[in-house]
Amino acid sequence: MAFIIYEFLPSSQNFSIFSLIPIFLLKESLFFFLIIFIRVKLIKKRLEFNMILEKFFLILIFTLYILDLSFFSLKFYIKDFYFSSLLAILWFLHYFFIIKIFFLKFSFNYFKILLGIIFPVFVLIGLQEIFNIWRLNFTGDTFIFLFLVLFFSPYFMVKIWPLKSLNDKELEKLIYDFLKQNRIKINKIYILKDLGKKVYTAGILGFLPPFRYLFFSQPLLDILSQEEILGVVTHEIGHLKKKHNLWLLLLLFNLPFFILIFLLFVFFIGNQFYPQFYLMFKNFSKEKSIFFALFLIFSSYIYLRYIFAFFLRQFEREADLYSFYTLNSPQPIISALFKIGKITGQLHKKSWHHYGIVERINFLNRVSFEKKEFLKIKKRLRIIKMLLIFWVILNSIFIFLSLYTQEIFKTLMEIFLEKF
């Protein structure tokens, strides 16, 4: 979202840089004092960093970021530099890192994880900027770079992440034999080192077998039995077998096009009440840049929270089902989920992107005892996949129009605006 805001937000210079410096320093100081104040209050009252505070700081971070780009003219001053979008993302992350340090007590290893996650974005932007410098751009170059980065970046991610080899040879052999039985090729199995806070997670990185890696956090292995570990591994295999990573990638690609469609919808509705509404966007003024940034955040939130998260939840459910019918029992994954929920205190909490742990356990128990329910869920998942295919095809039309028929797309937009 920070990248999208930077790319779409209009650039403007509201005041001279010298008049803004004192206000800018005051803003940064107040941000630090607010964090320290809240941290002290939490310590005195023996409270933990909760979801309400997390949402508050997320809103605050984006608000400050928008002010930096617009009111403080950060985009105006860096937009002509090469790799300016990287600078903007790094500036956004400085707020994020400070909060993680003060409230969640993560170690430096946690920042290695974040660096590994955003590394593909940095490489993609870097390649694009290099081609711009040498004037080697061609139609579709961004998408070619994107696929190259996605396929090869897992290798560099595991080099950046704080990982170590799995030392338990018996467990390693058990997992490799199980993967071979399920025809899954993994380059190596890794363990996440200490992050300063106990994290219970596992996953598979990579699309291509030579650059595909399985990892576990050490706290997860410490609490699970071998049977439960295989339940978790089978769940991750389910994501891989069902190609969830590719589907979710396509959904992320569609975010900018959703924003465009949403903007057109706003034009249409706005015109019903005020015939010259679209001119507010066509003749963009400096004062409206903050409101436009808020629109980008709102539309991105709607997409990620409701559309993207809907498919994410269904894919998580499908991976749970895959673990169930591959092992001929839901118990390994149920037992693993219960232990994770119990030790983290998340057992009865809702989750907008994965379903709550109790919800997942109840779902697996239900489908294991009712065959009709199992078949009903499988049919529902097929329908959801068809909806996803339809969504991708629909947005692919916009991709085609914007990439290969830019003049046609531009003309259509002008006709649309002229009709108002």
Supply the pLDDT for residue 147. 79
pLDDT of residue 420: 42
pLDDT above 70 as % of the chain: 87
Asked if residue 364 has pLDDT above 50, the reply is yes
Q: Where are the domains of the chain?
A: 248-418
Residue pair 56/38 in contact (Cβ under 8 Å)? The answer is no
* Most confident stretch, 65-74, 265-274, 357-366: 357-366
Q: How confident is the model at residue 132 (pLDDT cuts 50, 70, 90)?
A: confident
Provide the 8-state DSSP code for 15: S
193, pLDDT greater than 60: yes
Q: For position 324, what pLDDT does the model report?
A: 92
Distance (Å) of CA 118 to CA 2, 121, 209, 227, 333? 12, 5, 22, 34, 30
Per-residue pLDDT, averaged over 88-112, amounts to 81
pLDDT tier at 5 (50, 70, 90 boundaries)?
A: confident
Confidence at 296, pLDDT banded by 50, 70, 90: confident
Between 231 and 379, residue with greater pLDDT: 231
Strand partners, 204: 214
**Better-predicted residue by pLDDT, 357 or 42:** 357
The Cα–Cα gap between 417 and 268 comes to: 10
Q: Is the pLDDT of residue 274 over 80?
A: no
For residue 288, which of 12, 84, 62, 1 has the smallest C-alpha distance? 12
Q: Which two tokens stand for residue 104?
A: 């969640």
What are residue 345's phi and psi, to 5 degrees?
A: 75, 15
Exposure string (b/e) for 149-183, b if CB count within 10 Å is 16 or more? bbebbbbebbeebbbeebeeeebeebbeebbeeee
In this prediction, residue 258 carries a pLDDT of: 80
81 pLDDT higher than 50:
yes
Q: Evaluate if residue 283 carries a pLDDT over 80.
A: no
Mean pLDDT confidence for 271-289: 62
- Write down the pTM of the prediction: 0.80
Residue pair 297/62 in contact by the 8 Å Cβ criterion: yes
Rounded to whole angstroms, how far apart are CA atoms 106 and 99? Answer: 10
Concatenate the DSSP letters of all residues of 53-80 into one string: HHHHHHHHHHHHHHHHHTTT-HHHHHTT
Position 405 scores a pLDDT of: 55
- Taking residues 214-227, report their average pLDDT: 95
Residues 6+ apart with CB under 8 A from 319: 235, 236, 238, 239, 242, 244
Q: What is the pLDDT of residue 400?
A: 65
Is pLDDT above 70 for 278? no
C-alpha to C-alpha distance for 82 and 385, rounded to whole angstroms: 41
